[in-house]
A = this chain, B = another copy of it.
Amino acid sequence: MKKVKIALLGLGNVGTGVCKILNTNKEEIRNRAGYDIEIAKILVRDVNKKRDVNVPEGVITASPEEILDDESIKIVVEVMGGTDPAKDYMIRAMKAKKHVVTANKLAIATLGDELIGTAKEEGVMLKYEASVAGGIPIIDTINESLTANKIKEIVGIINGTTNYILTKMYLENMDFETALKEAQEMGYAEADPTSDVEGYDAVYKLGILTSLAFGTKVDSDLIYREGISNIKSIDIEYAKEFGYVIKLLAIVKEIDNVLELRVHPTMISTRHPLANVNDSFNAVLLKGNAVGDLMLYGRGAGDLPTGSAVVGDIISILKDNMEIKNEVNKIELSAKQINNMENTESQYYIRATVKDVPGVLGEISAILGNNNVSVLSVIQKSKGQEFVTIVFVTHKTLEGNINKSISAIEQLSSVQKIENVIRVENGIK
């Protein structure tokens, strides 16, 4: 059996998972890869830290040069995260003709151009299946399996932390703060949960998926982003009343050569294929012009699921015999126009606190009507208090019409506050 030496940059959660898998499934991996894999070096910050896995003497190092300058190491696995120094190490590894596997969504989303460009220049392979949706092979599916298709649309639940929180809010009637605290205790959310909760993490992943599926470079800053911290228990209650569930969706659609890109909490029917994706599970629903609707569902994070994707990438490089090749068909990424949110079509849920006086429903309805917003349902439950909650669900309309309506409704003296506006999607079919 041929042998190959690899090195890990990082030995955190994912790195530990990679070690465990290479150890536990040694026999199967050797058969499938055609190589005996030896982890020759692992770069860490603190060589004295106690680790969850047994690593032979001399493997742990704090010196990147021991890896990057070692010609016998053929594959570098970057599982340290962040862009600095991860990007620099990856570039140096590729320039030294090493193949690179990374789980780093931030680096791929923000510096993917440069990284992929270097891989092409050097003729090495750069694989990043683990960077989106953990163990779900969404990148292989787009790159390898759906190649016969024009992909028209992707709708995904690609952040496990927010999905865990929303599931707790929906199924166990927790409020946002309690659910977030529980997610933090379970290790699903970080001490500073901003990246997950405010949708940044999903935006990066959506950018990666979009560049692969639509062959276009996407600037993450241009993706519309809205987190879940404004979702209240009362919104969940109304969602249930309307037969909806609330999910943080990452959406990209191509309409007349314009890309519509957005990450925001969304009400979807309880019968939508994504409605039953609960807890920290992820799922991605794609629409291809040949395959139709295709959904992948699984673990979006965790040491072993993410490690599964990383090790799958290593095996894929080995099955290709680590060939250094100059790509014959370089596909240039074309820049596509990104839709202005004002032109996005959706249904909307609007929750407002209003004075319980006659005529308020009529005033609001008139404003909506004047802005071409047609109302599907309205719920107002008066209890003889000064202020009451009124909730509208609209038919499909342009976001611009909603924004104009909201501005006008906020001016009404009978309206205390527009509490929330949440998009409602019927999903791809």
Binding site for B on A (CB under 8 A): 17, 21, 24-25, 28-29, 31-34, 129, 135-137, 140-141, 144-150, 215, 271, 273, 275-276, 288-299, 302, 304-305, 307-312, 314-316, 328-329, 331
Residues of B contacting A329 with CB < 8 Å?
31-32, 34
Q: Is the CB of B315 within 8 A of A147?
A: yes
Bound together, the chains give a CA A293 to CA B299 distance in angstroms of 7
The chain B residue with its CB closest to the CB of A298 is B294
The chain B residue with its CB closest to the CB of A295 is B297
Q: Is the CB of A295 within 8 A of B298?
A: yes
Residues of B contacting A25 with CB < 8 Å?
148-150, 289-290
Q: Is the CB of B316 within 8 A of A290?
A: no
Q: Give the distance to chain B from A70, nearest Cβ to Cβ, in Å.
A: 24
Q: Give the distance to chain B from A222, nearest Cβ to Cβ, in Å.
A: 24
Q: Is the CB of B291 within 8 A of A294?
A: no
The chain B residue with its CB closest to the CB of A325 is B321
Number of copies: 2
Bound together, the chains give a CA A33 to CA B292 distance in angstroms of 21
Residues of B contacting A271 with CB < 8 Å?
276
The chain B residue with its CB closest to the CB of A277 is B273
The chain B residue with its CB closest to the CB of A129 is B145
Q: Is the CB of A308 within 8 A of B149?
A: yes
Q: Is the CB of A148 within 8 A of B315?
A: yes
Q: Is the CB of A148 within 8 A of B312?
A: yes
Q: Is the CB of A144 within 8 A of B316?
A: yes
Q: Is the CB of A294 within 8 A of B296?
A: yes
Bound together, the chains give a CA A224 to CA B241 distance in angstroms of 44
Q: Can you name 18 A-B residue pairings with CB atoms under 8 Å?
A: A17-B290, A24-B290, A28-B149, A29-B147, A135-B288, A135-B292, A137-B294, A140-B141, A141-B141, A146-B308, A148-B308, A148-B314, A276-B276, A291-B298, A291-B299, A295-B298, A296-B296, A296-B297
Q: Give the distance to chain B from A429, nearest Cβ to Cβ, in Å.
A: 11
Bound together, the chains give a CA A149 to CA B148 distance in angstroms of 27
Q: Give the distance to chain B from A272, nearest Cβ to Cβ, in Å.
A: 9
Residues of B contacting A291 with CB < 8 Å?
135, 298-299, 304-305, 308-309
Q: Is the CB of B290 within 8 A of A305?
A: yes
Bound together, the chains give a CA A150 to CA B25 distance in angstroms of 7
The chain B residue with its CB closest to the CB of A136 is B294
Q: Is the CB of B273 within 8 A of A312?
A: no
Q: Is the CB of B304 within 8 A of A290?
A: yes
Which of these, B292, B293, B305, B312, contacts A147 with CB under 8 Å? Answer: B312
The chain B residue with its CB closest to the CB of A332 is B31
Residue of A140, A147, A302, A304 with most partner-chain B CB within 10 A: A147
Q: Is the CB of A297 within 8 A of B315?
A: no
Q: Is the CB of B299 within 8 A of A292?
A: yes
